[in-house]
Structure 1
């Protein structure tokens, strides 16, 4: 009887340890962007222009980008895997500033985002999303995920997330989170942009990896001002028959 009890205690310890390990590590995402789909949603473009664009580019309209999320149960950091210069067709450019820090323990967010020709430092309390969990599941990166939907009312986007409740951290890619599990796939407007986890690696995460640098350079604003800037820019761009998403994140 004593041996059986010891075996049960060891099993419980192993299970608890395994679950604990799922609260820190890193996730590599692939972000796939279909820009002709974005253009097809612009109200000022004629159907003829949209059809011509699809005919010209066909299925060769996607761009891919790797992103990295480092996390534990208290904090997370999401950005490019490393700062580097991209090169394509003889042209080269540096990735625009995009860093997202989340402090789950204290309910705070810090984002460094390049947009509208400037770099903004957005500091505020963690934002809540009006998620609706749906009765659908699918596998992403080896994890069974549940579906949840919400809406970005400023950009007019439908947001679909697939989250793994056995990774009990309320984080995710592209500024989204707040679900009872890690978001492993994020779909904007039914495929315009899809950010999908390609590798989930659990490991000890150091404080330095998640620490916000003391000298983040950017114009400081809060989340409400950030939303106001985007809303005004989108309205003015559509009025001027310009694609607003050339200068703000989609």
Structure 2
């Protein structure tokens, strides 16, 4: 994966952070970049552009860290905004460290409520509890995220700092809003019908092929 040259202050003490993230995935789906934006001041959020070769088009990820809420805007037949609480992950800390975009990051292993295994690298040098797509909940920004089962990798390639508020202009006013459970139910009963032997397997496929 190509890395972009980063410009970071020596004392990163402003928020939100604007992080350029590269994503790679298996299955021949190619690589893509994403702009992640995270804030801690009420309306702060995380934004991300969609990945390459994605039939669902561009996606926008928004995290309100103060309210612990997430929103994902995407388009299937129409634009949809999926609203839910931030993903609940149980993290286990390790003594492994690596440098990502000039920041010392510590490895943690995590598991979601539906037993999805995650590997994350976070840095306490950026004291914002955010990360790529739907992840967070650590004492610092996640700059690396691996989802082995889905062959997905996110790595920060550039970090910039700004004091600008996150504008709500990213949200399409005509988009249909629903919860994540409503979204899974909608797709499980249509385009993902018959895929997998259980609701959990269908949900995993929707996460891999659409949300992540």
Coarse TM-score class (shorter-chain normalised): 0.7 to 0.9
Within 5 A, what are the aligned runs for 1:1-250?
18-21=11-14, 23-35=15-27, 61=28, 63-74=30-41, 75-80=44-49, 96-114=57-75, 117-152=77-112, 154=114, 157-189=116-148, 192-202=151-161, 204-207=162-165, 209-211=166-168, 213=170, 215-228=172-185, 236-239=194-197, 244=205, 248-250=210-212
Conserved in 2, the CA contact under 8 Å of 1:73 and 1:168? no
Query: Which structure is higher in helix share?
Result: 1
TM-score, normalised to structure 1, is: 0.64
Conserved in 2, the CA contact under 8 Å of 1:72 and 1:205? no
Structure 2 partner of 1:49:
none
Conserved in 1, the CA contact under 8 Å of 2:129 and 2:140? yes
RMSD value, Cα: 3.5
Q: How many aligned residue pairs are there? A: 195
Measured at CA, do residues 190 and 225 of structure 1 come closer, stay the same or move farther in structure 2, by a change above 3 Å?
A: closer
Secondary structure, counterpart of 2:47 in structure 1: strand
* Distance in structure 1 (CA, Å) of the matches to 2:184 and 2:118: 17
Measured at CA, do residues 231 and 146 of structure 1 come closer, stay the same or move farther in structure 2, by a change above 3 Å?
A: farther
TM-score, normalised to structure 2, is: 0.74
* Distance in structure 2 (CA, Å) of the matches to 1:221 and 1:67: 24
Name stretches of at least 5 consecutive residues in structure 1 with no aligned partner: 1-16, 36-60
Conserved in 1, the CA contact under 8 Å of 2:60 and 2:170? no
Measured at CA, do residues 188 and 125 of structure 1 come closer, stay the same or move farther in structure 2, by a change above 3 Å?
A: closer
Name stretches of at least 5 consecutive residues in structure 2 with no aligned partner: 1-9
Measured at CA, do residues 168 and 247 of structure 1 come closer, stay the same or move farther in structure 2, by a change above 3 Å?
A: closer
